[in-house]
Structure 1
Amino acid sequence: MGKSYGIAGLRSLPRAAGGRLMLAVAAAVAVVAAALVVLSPPDAPADGQTEGGGNRTRWGPLSEEDRTLLVKVRQAGLWEMPAGQQAQQRAASPRVKEVAGMIMEQHMRLDADTRATAQRLNVILPTEPNADQKGWLREMSGKFGADYDRTFVLRLRAAHGKVFGVIALVRAHSKNTEIRAFAERAMKFVNNHMRLLESTGLVTDSALH
């Protein structure tokens, strides 16, 4: 009859054999770990980036509404900065010129913040205003003096009211802490711009809808 290797037999194995077994197990674990490293995609996103247009970031999930906020704030600056510069030459009211200059300067700071936030979240931003905003710039380009003042104030006040609503909605619902912090900063700028535009005395009821 052949020898039986039960529990008693295992207990009788030489210590050297047990040591060799442990080394073999350790080697196998090392091989598996190395394989996982090799199989990991080399372009895996770093912290703060999204994966292939996905929504995972170190600050929480990034929704389409979050992305839309960054796009809309960026586009607001892309048309309001040149509009503010244009108003320095075309506006008749000293107050409108002053307000336009302040809005332009503040939008430059907000735009820098928007681009930095988008870069951290790996969101691609537009490089030009949308079709409506381009149309407003063309409209103002054909006006001077008091007519320009009214058009500038009404167009900017109406636009700020719309983007303010977007900011408030995203701030209330976003699960991304970076976006929530950005929304709070953007809201302060936009709220201040509305007050500045209203201080000209040219804001009518139609601009508040």
Structure 2
Amino acid sequence: MTGAFIIGGAMSLAVAAFVYPSTPGASAAPASHDNIIAATPWGPLTEADRDFVVKVRAAGLWEYPVGQLGLQKGTTEAVVTASRHLIDGHAALDATCRKIAPLLNIMLPNVASPQQQGFVSALTTDTREQFNFDFANILRMTHGSIFNTVAKIRSTTKNTLVRALADQANDTVLDHITVMEKTGLVNFDQTLLRQTTPPDLPSSDLTPPPPTLGQPMTVLTPPQNATSTPVDIDAIT
């Protein structure tokens, strides 16, 4: 159904999972609170700070494979370009998350939530023509939703490492919003409506499973021609 931004089933649940995740190591309370959970050499760490680091990691765990999928199924140059940006940007963000998480004693998920995995599966079953439209609109919506969260963390965190991640995430999310819009496929009326409508889903449907003890950490490998770079932790520490 090309041109109609209709999302159902696993795809709709997966979108909600990105926008309003309940994550391992994160409180079930909203991530806007400022309860300090740890004193670190880089400043106090709040629950919102911790939730943010986990959200960035979880985002990459489904958007990176969607970018890879876009390289295979995208039928326009703009969609392929946007896919490359997803892979490049999330590989660099993931590297930063994996660097700062152990320093801040934050447990990161190792796989996306079941709904996020379902999202990837739904795009996998799209026809190539429908894929272009769903890809552009869903990714524009999810990035638009997280953009405000990035700004709030950047303006409120007292933790230097989290602030550096927020700076990087701000640049990456804005870039991804821009390349989605450049596809010319975004239905702004429907996308912005869905972006501002909270999903009605139980937290159990939105939670990435905690990593299995002894399981190697999933690494999002940067492309050979990567242009995005992780945060230089040595320059901060």
Pairing of 1:102-181 with structure 2 (within 5 A): 102-181=85-164
Residue 216 of structure 2 corresponds to residue 202 of structure 1:
no
Shift of 1:54: 4.2
CA distance in 2: counterparts of 1:164 and 1:182, whole angstroms: 13
Residue 168 of structure 2 corresponds to residue 185 of structure 1:
yes
Shift of 1:164: 1.5
Structure 1, 118-127 or 64-73: larger mean CA deviation: 118-127
CA distance in 2: counterparts of 1:134 and 1:95, whole angstroms: 24
Identity of aligned residues (%): 36
Q: Which amino acid counterpart does residue 93 of structure 1 have in structure 2?
A: T
Contact 1:160 1:194 in 2 (8 A): yes
Q: Which amino acid counterpart does residue 142 of structure 1 have in structure 2?
A: T
CA distance in 2: counterparts of 1:88 and 1:174, whole angstroms: 36
Q: Which amino acid counterpart does residue 116 of structure 1 have in structure 2?
A: K
Shift of 1:102: 2.2
Q: Which amino acid counterpart does residue 149 of structure 2 have in structure 1?
A: V
Q: Which amino acid counterpart does residue 67 of structure 2 have in structure 1?
A: G
Shift of 1:130: 2.2
CA distance in 1: counterparts of 2:43 and 2:88, whole angstroms: 32
Pairing of 1:34-73 with structure 2 (within 5 A): 54-73=37-56
Per-residue Cα deviation, 1:121-140 (whole angstroms, up to 9, x for no partner) = 12111111123322211210
Which 5+ residue runs of structure 2 have no aligned equivalent? 1-35, 196-237
CA distance in 2: counterparts of 1:142 and 1:198, whole angstroms: 23
CA distance in 1: counterparts of 2:76 and 2:155, whole angstroms: 38
Scaled by the length of structure 2, what TM-score is found? 0.63
Larger RCO, structure (CA 8 Å, separation 6 or more): 2
Residue 63 of structure 2 corresponds to residue 80 of structure 1:
yes
CA distance in 1: counterparts of 2:70 and 2:99, whole angstroms: 28
If you compute each CA radius of gyration, which structure gives the higher value, 1 or 2? Answer: 1
Contact 2:140 2:177 in 1 (8 A): yes
Which 5+ residue runs of structure 1 have no aligned equivalent? 1-52
Q: Secondary structure at the match of 1:56?
A: strand
CA distance in 1: counterparts of 2:37 and 2:47, whole angstroms: 10
> 2:78 is matched with which residue?
95
Structure 1, 192-201 or 175-184: larger mean CA deviation: 175-184
- How many equivalent pairs are there? 157
Structure 1, 84-93 or 68-77: larger mean CA deviation: 84-93
Greater share of helix? 1
Q: Secondary structure at the match of 1:125?
A: coil
Scaled by the length of structure 1, what TM-score is found? 0.71
- Please list every run of at least 4 consecutive aligned residues from structure 1 whose deviation after the TM superposition is greater than 4 angstroms: none
